[in-house]
Structure 1
Amino acid sequence: MHLSLAEAETLVVEALQRSKVSAENARSVAVALVAAEAAGQGGHGLRRVPAYAGQAKIGKTDGFAQPQLTRPFPAVLRIDAGNGYAYPALDLAVAELPGIAREQGIALAAISRSHHAGVMGLTVERFADQGLVALMVANAPAAMAPWGGKVPVFGTNPIAFATPLPGEDPIVIDLALSKVARGKVMAARQQGAPIPADWAFDREGKPTTSAEEALEGTMVPSGDAKGAALALMVEILAAGLTGANYAFEASSLFDDKGAPPALGHTIIAINPAATSATDTAKRFALLASEITRDPNVRLPGRRGQTSRRLALTEGIIVEDEVIEAIKRL
């Protein structure tokens, strides 16, 4: 079904408000999930609404939570998401960190008791749009084993980075530390489709093409042992530093069972004017131009930016069964 962005946001807002979510939080979530759809990241988009709503209805997620902010050090913010959705806490970080980064040269937000961080490239891009370099890490419920193991300990633990470029869209890097994001496996299960054999292992540690077996097993780390090591790093940065749950302590984001996931995110925003006496904007532009001299190469983030720009005028296509599931909430 074809929807304009406004229609899609209204659909999500109304469903969440029927599910014990405040109007303000419903709007924050809707904007983020629809932006994910517009960017071509459906695994982080409207397919998430039934799980989000179910968790709010039962109280696993607090749909009325308001993120609480403290500033224990001049360049550090602590944001307690209150076991609510991540997006209100991320919106707060986007509102507060830039001023601190300009004042201090660098600023960090440590977010705890949070939820699914969504398409993190969209978050870091909001900092780059304000002239800042941004890095974000987040942990997720356990889905990857340490390299050589069978028991999931780490999440897929995405990393996102953005840097401004003069006169054009920012460079945006957004990657899960599993070979693919777990949301793609979830989407395959909902569609009844197989997955490539190199995406995941079953419970026995064997490659599988079954999305169901993959969700019960573990994801393949990107880069094998290197990806598993980076996932450990993210657990420390996103959960160890923030006081959030580690991946193996967190409940699922896909159902309404258990305690709140209480996940963590860390965002670092850097003022380029503070780090070098040179014109950093020109240096960034030089690197970007050297990369794109090859006509077969595009800068990271361009596909999603182009897709989002097109969606502003043409809207998005969402599977009928997804829309019907949302309407039934």
Structure 2
Amino acid sequence: MRFETDEAKQIAYSVIKAVGANDAVARSLTEAVISAELAGSRAVGFAHLPDYLDGFLKGRIAVDSEPAIRFPVPAAITVDARKGIAQLGFDQAFEELITRASTYGIVALTMSNSFTVGELGYYTRRLAERGLVSIATCNATAQMTTLESGRAVYGTNPVSFAAPVANGRPLVIDQASSATAFVNVRNAAERNETIPEGWAVDQNGKPTTDAREAVKGLLVAFGGARGANIAMMMEVLAAGVTGANWSMDAPSFAEGSESPGIGLFLVALKPEIFSADFPVRLSTQLARLADMGVRIPGSHIKVREIDVPSEVIDRVRSYAEWSQGDERL
């Protein structure tokens, strides 16, 4: 099904409100969902929204939580999401983050006690659109193993980097420490599709290409030990430094009534303080790389309308119907 942006926003906002979220939560989450769709990150757009809707209904996400924001030192911001969504905490700290990065040249933001952050690139992309270079990571419920362990020890622990580009869209890199994101495996299982080798192991710890068996098992890190090391570094930042739950201790984001209580760690800097013509230099360099055949992340995406599989929209709408009888959006 194809939607204009405003129509897609109305659908998302209405459903989020229907399951009990307050206006601030609904607006923040709606913007994040639509941004993911427009960025081509559809696995964490409407396809991921049912995880939030179910979380609101089952109590894993507070429907009206007010984030607690502190400034322990001039170049640091801490956010306690209070079992709410990470997007709202980021929204409320955003302008102060911009101001402090511009004033001090660099600022760190930590967030704890939140539900999954959704599309990690959403956070760095917004900062790049305001002229900042940033790098971010987060953790999640443990669903990834290492080849030596065979047990769930890390979340997918992604890392995202974004930078402003003169006269162009920001450069945004967003990738998991796992060989793929869990939502990709789950979506393949729902479509009864196979997955590539090296993505996951089954519940017995054996490599599998059967997505349905992979859902019961665990993801594996990309690049073997090197990917696992990156996952560990991201875990230390996203859970250790922020004070959030370690992935091994985080309740499920898909079941039960407890918040995963995971973390987000982000550093942003004003590039002109270090290199006055940075956006222009980066634009020139990216053009050189593209001419040499290098794939520039995101450069192929030109989304103006939002295409969502009908089964995804039906699933999203079903939450409103379930919570409000037969009212339809």
Asked if Structure 1 and Structure 2 have the same fold, meaning a TM-score greater than 0.5 normalized by the shorter chain, the answer is yes
Q: Which amino acid aligns with 1:69?
A: I
Q: Percent of pairs identical after alignment? A: 34
State the distance in 2 between where 1:243 and 1:136 align.
16
Do the aligned partners of 1:94 and 1:126 also contact (CA within 8 Å) in 2?
no
Deviation at 1:60, TM superposition (A): 1.5
Partner of 2:5: 5
Q: Which amino acid aligns with 1:226?
A: R
Do the aligned partners of 1:9 and 1:27 also contact (CA within 8 Å) in 2?
no
For the pair 1:51 / 2:29, whether they are aligned, the reply is no
Deviation at 1:280, TM superposition (A): 2.9
Partner of 2:20: 20
Match of 1:323 among 307, 310, 313: 313
State the distance in 2 between where 1:134 and 1:106 align.
9
Partner of 1:67: 67
Deviation at 1:286, TM superposition (A): 4.0
Deviation at 1:265, TM superposition (A): 0.3
Partner of 2:272: 273
Deviation at 1:179, TM superposition (A): 1.0
For the pair 1:189 / 2:189, whether they are aligned, the reply is yes
Could you give the per-residue CA deviations for residues 119-152 of structure 1, whole angstroms, max 9, x where no partner exists? 2222211111111111111111111113421001
Deviation at 1:62, TM superposition (A): 0.1
Partner of 2:262: 263
Deviation at 1:40, TM superposition (A): 2.4
State the distance in 2 between where 1:268 and 1:93 align.
13
Partner of 2:199: 199
For the pair 1:136 / 2:136, whether they are aligned, the reply is yes
Do the aligned partners of 2:39 and 2:298 also contact (CA within 8 Å) in 1?
no
Could you give the per-residue CA deviations for residues 51-77 of structure 1, whole angstroms, max 9, x where no partner exists? 211211222210111212100001000
Q: Which amino acid aligns with 2:294?
A: V
Could you give the per-residue CA deviations for residues 23-51 of structure 1, whole angstroms, max 9, x where no partner exists? 22112111211221232222211122222
Could you give the per-residue CA deviations for residues 257-278 of structure 1, whole angstroms, max 9, x where no partner exists? 14210010011111113335x6
Partner of 2:92: 92
Could you give the per-residue CA deviations for residues 78-117 of structure 1, whole angstroms, max 9, x where no partner exists? 0111111111112234322111011111001100111221
Deviation at 1:212, TM superposition (A): 2.6
State the distance in 2 between where 1:21 and 1:176 align.
29
State the distance in 1 between where 2:5 and 2:222 align.
33
Find the residue that maps to 1:292 and give its secondary structure.
helix
Find the residue that maps to 1:46 and give its secondary structure.
coil
State the distance in 1 between where 2:16 and 2:284 align.
45
State the distance in 1 between where 2:181 and 2:299 align.
19
Aligned length: 319
State the distance in 2 between where 1:137 and 1:84 align.
18
State the distance in 1 between where 2:62 and 2:251 align.
15
For the pair 1:287 / 2:277, whether they are aligned, the reply is no
1:169-184 counterparts in 2 under 5 A?
169-184=169-184
Do the aligned partners of 2:68 and 2:80 also contact (CA within 8 Å) in 1?
yes
Q: Which amino acid aligns with 1:283?
A: R
Q: TM-score, normalised by structure 1?
A: 0.92
State the distance in 2 between where 1:61 and 1:29 align.
12
Could you give the per-residue CA deviations for residues 177-208 of structure 1, whole angstroms, max 9, x where no partner exists? 11111111121122232222321111222111
Q: Which amino acid aligns with 2:60?
A: K
State the distance in 1 between where 2:37 and 2:216 align.
26
Do the aligned partners of 2:177 and 2:227 also contact (CA within 8 Å) in 1?
yes
Alpha-carbon distance change, 68 to 286 in structure 1, aligned in 2, over 3 angstroms: same
Find the residue that maps to 2:19 and give its secondary structure.
coil
Match of 1:302 among 287, 299, 302: 299
For the pair 1:218 / 2:215, whether they are aligned, the reply is no
State the distance in 1 between where 2:212 and 2:109 align.
36
Q: Which amino acid aligns with 1:267?
A: L
Q: Which amino acid aligns with 1:320?
A: S
Q: TM-score, normalised by structure 2?
A: 0.92
Do the aligned partners of 2:250 and 2:261 also contact (CA within 8 Å) in 1?
yes
Could you give the per-residue CA deviations for residues 204-249 of structure 1, whole angstroms, max 9, x where no partner exists? 2211122232122121211111110000001110110011011111
Q: Which runs of 5+ in 2 are unaligned?
A: 320-329
State the distance in 1 between where 2:186 and 2:244 align.
24
Q: Which amino acid aligns with 2:50?
A: P
State the distance in 2 between where 1:178 and 1:82 align.
27
Do the aligned partners of 1:51 and 1:256 also contact (CA within 8 Å) in 2?
no
**Alpha carbon RMSD of aligned pairs, Å?**
1.6
Alpha-carbon distance change, 131 to 248 in structure 1, aligned in 2, over 3 angstroms: same
